Amino acid sequence: MRLCICLVLLSLAMCAAADIRDRGRFVWDAIGGARDMYRAYRDMREANFKNSDKYFHARGNYDAAQRGPGGAWAAKVISDAREHWQGRVSGRGAEDTRADQEANAWGRNGGDPNRYRPPGLPSKY
């Protein structure tokens, strides 16, 4: 919930110069993009499938970016925050963070997330 509130406030700040309709669309897309990112994270945890991490990164970013500029912005903010935390706190390392960011950018720029889909991942995902 805090994340959604932060996204709404940041979204409003980002589009202060735009007209009210464009601002509303940006905020709505950002909220939807945050939901897309959460859904990909939830699916990743549920699947618990070896080597599927990059696929879910790409899929979450792809789905969010398809909503428009607000969704792409939310995906970038969430991805960068997660990778910053992961790189500093969890100790997973720079190489893993770099690979995650590559998958994030691939999806956010419209690339097919299936590029990262591991063999055998259930079709549900």
Rounded mean pLDDT of the chain? Answer: 88
- pTM, two decimal places: 0.81
Alpha helices, DSSP H, located in the chain: 2-14, 20-47, 53-65, 69-85, 94-108
Q: Which CATH superfamily is domain 27-116 in?
A: Serum amyloid A protein (1.10.132.110)
3-state secondary structure of 113: helix
pLDDT of residue 2 exceeding 80: no
Render pLDDT for 9-50 as a digit per residue (tens, 0 to 9).
666 666 555 566 777 899 999 999 999 999 999 999 999 999
CB distance 108 to 64 below 8 Å: yes
Q: Quick one: pLDDT at residue 24? A: 84
Ordered by start, the domain boundaries in the chain are 27-116
pLDDT of residue 93 exceeding 70: yes
CA 52, 58, 61, 62 torsion-angle sign: negative
